[in-house]
């Protein structure tokens, strides 16, 4: 409805009744009830295929107030100190960045936006001064993206736009696509064709040999075995069997791995799978990425069989390395999820992880018995 101050004075005349009922009033120009994005130019519609696994948590960020227009209620996420700090750090490395959507506000802050005309995603560590482990991982991810500029891996990944390791801020290309899964342990796994594409991308990455000294070894196998043994997750026999397999792998060449190849870290783009979140990338015993995929794909026995066949196709030593990786991955998942107060769904997951661990233990004992 137009404002009286902006409308011409009405002419006084008798009101004639309408034969078809009361007249419908059209809304005033500019009063579009549809929600708008942060730029205020296009309506926001949820995309059927989000470009980031965290997009399931998307919350529209409020549009900036205009002169003479009453400001809308502030989004609770905008009052978050870590979001404000992240926006300030992002502005330092990319003054042209325009935020559009808040994708995640947790340990990491993810904000989708544009840098010029380029769609980008900004990632920032929420509390870099307090989160020592997160800061170390973020530094590793920034170093990985910078190394990938000079040494391009065969797997597709978002391109680096800008980064500030000291402030734990990363700006990267926003890739169109959808996550292969929205949960760490999904009940619905990708289709067989998508699984083959993901496995192909991971295998191409594992066969890549970057220059020596560019990436380190994120996992100390001996220390991890001792840690899980001390926590009671591994028995004396388990620890002894794993140490024996490690001794036989002393001269086995290590393999370059993504290090966190969860389905939630794989985007299914039109051009093929895209790997994101490179915090754990580096050199591992062969089969680490395969072991991680095997652990989270319990709902797809065909995919697990395929992963096991690929891991054992190169011989006995790669098989032993895969089994060592699998035991450590399963121990980590059990420790991550077996916490007090778990709900029924989580208890089912924990029980399945223990069953998978028992299966892996039997395979390790069989491998030790053949030596």
pLDDT at 65 over 80: no
Helix ranges restricted to H, the chain: 81-93, 132-150, 192-206, 221-230, 236-248, 288-296, 301-312, 316-337, 344-369
> Which residue among 139, 173, 207 closes a domain?
173
In this structure, how many other beta carbons lie within 10 angstroms of the beta carbon of residue 263?
24
Report the alpha-carbon distance of residue 87 to residue 68 in Å, rounded. 26
133 and 243 in a single domain? The answer is: no
Residue 118 — pLDDT band, cuts 50, 70, 90?
very high
> Which residue among 118, 139, 173 closes a domain?
173
In a domain, 87, yes or no: yes
Report the alpha-carbon distance of residue 226 to residue 234 in Å, rounded. 9
Report the alpha-carbon distance of residue 368 to residue 370 in Å, rounded. 5
pLDDT at 31 over 80: no
Task: Determine the pLDDT at residue 188.
Answer: 87
In a domain, 267, yes or no: yes
**CB 100 within 8 Å of CB 86:** no
**CB 164 within 8 Å of CB 130:** no
253 and 336 in a single domain? The answer is: yes
128 and 185 in a single domain? The answer is: no
In this structure, how many other beta carbons lie within 10 angstroms of the beta carbon of residue 204?
13
Domain CATH code at residue 95: 3.30.200
Q: Stretch 111-115: mean pLDDT, rounded?
A: 95
Q: If you ran DSSP here, which 8-state letter would residue 213 be given? A: T
The secondary structure of 151-189 as a DSSP string is S--SSB-PPEEEEETTTTEEEEE----EES-SSSS-SSP
Domain of residue 80 covers: 53-59+76-173
145 and 211 in a single domain? The answer is: no
What pTM did the predictor assign? 0.78
104 and 202 in a single domain? The answer is: no
141 and 269 in a single domain? The answer is: no
CA dihedral 64, 69, 74, 78 (to 10 degrees): 10
The secondary structure of 105-148 as a DSSP string is ESSEEEEEEEETTEEEEEEEES-TTT-HHHHHHHHHHHHHHHHH
Classify the C-alpha dihedral 320-324-327-330 as positive or negative: negative
pLDDT at 66 over 50: no
Q: How many domains is the chain built from? A: 2
160 and 200 in a single domain? The answer is: no
Q: Which residue has the higher pLDDT, 233 or 56?
A: 233
Give pLDDT tens digits for 261-311: 999 999 999 999 999 999 999 999 999 999 999 999 998 999 999 999 999
Residue 14 — pLDDT band, cuts 50, 70, 90?
very low
235 and 344 in a single domain? The answer is: yes
In a domain, 25, yes or no: no
The sheet carrying 272-275 orders its strands as 178-179, 266-269, 272-275
157 and 259 in a single domain? The answer is: no
139 and 237 in a single domain? The answer is: no
For 29-33, 142-146, 304-308, which range has the lowest pLDDT when averaged over its residues? 29-33
In a domain, 31, yes or no: no
Domain CATH code at residue 249: 3.90.1200.10
197 and 153 in a single domain? The answer is: no
Assigned token pair, 346: 């989580």
Task: Determine the pLDDT at residue 341.
Answer: 83
In angstroms, how far is the first alpha carbon of the chain from the final one? Answer: 85
Q: Stretch 5-32: mean pLDDT, rounded?
A: 43
> Which residue among 127, 150, 173 closes a domain?
173
241 and 196 in a single domain? The answer is: yes
Axis crossing angle, helix 344-369 with helix 236-248, rounded to the nearest 10: 50
């Amino acid at each position: 409805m137009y404002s009286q101050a902006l409308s011409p004075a009405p002419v006084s005349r008798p009101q004639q009744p309408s034969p078809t009922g009361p007249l419908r009033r059209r809304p005033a120009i500019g009063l579009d009830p549809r929600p708008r994005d942060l730029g205020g130019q296009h309506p926001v519609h949820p995309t059927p295929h989000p470009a980031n696994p965290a997009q399931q948590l998307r919350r529209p960020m409020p549009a900036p107030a205009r002169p003479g227009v009453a400001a809308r209620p502030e989004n609770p996420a905008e009052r978050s100190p870590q979001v404000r700090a992240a926006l300030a750090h992002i502005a330092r490395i990319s003054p042209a960045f325009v935020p559009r959507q808040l994708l995640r506000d947790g340990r990491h802050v993810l904000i989708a936006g544009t840098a010029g005309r380029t769609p980008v995603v900004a990632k920032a560590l929420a509390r870099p001064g307090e989160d020592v482990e997160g800061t170390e991982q973020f530094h590793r991810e920034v170093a990985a993206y910078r190394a990938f500029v000079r040494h391009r891996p065969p797997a597709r990944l978002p391109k680096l736009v800008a980064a500030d390791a000291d402030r734990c801020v990363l700006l990267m290309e926003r890739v169109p696509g959808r996550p292969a899964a929205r949960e760490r342990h999904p009940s619905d796994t990708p289709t067989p064709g998508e699984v083959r594409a993901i496995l192909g991308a991971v295998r191409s990455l594992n066969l890549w040999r970057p220059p020596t000294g560019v990436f380190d070894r994120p996992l100390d196998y001996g220390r991890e075995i001792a840690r899980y043994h001390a926590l009671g997750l591994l028995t004396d026999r388990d620890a002894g069997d794993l140490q024996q397999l490690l001794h036989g792998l002393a001269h086995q060449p290590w393999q370059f791995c993504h290090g966190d190849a969860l389905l939630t870290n794989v985007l299914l783009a039109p051009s093929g799978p895209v790997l994101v979140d490179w915090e754990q990338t580096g050199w591992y015993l062969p089969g680490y990425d395969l072991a991680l995929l095997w652990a989270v794909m319990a709902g797809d026995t065909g995919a697990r069989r395929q992963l096991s066949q690929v891991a054992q196709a190169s011989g006995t030593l790669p098989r032993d390395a895969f089994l060592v990786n699998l035991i450590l991955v399963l121990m980590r998942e059990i420790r991550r999820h077996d916490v007090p107060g778990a709900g029924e769904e989580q208890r089912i997951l924990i029980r399945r992880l223990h069953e998978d661990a028992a299966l892996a233990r039997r395979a390790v004992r069989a491998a030790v018995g053949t030596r």
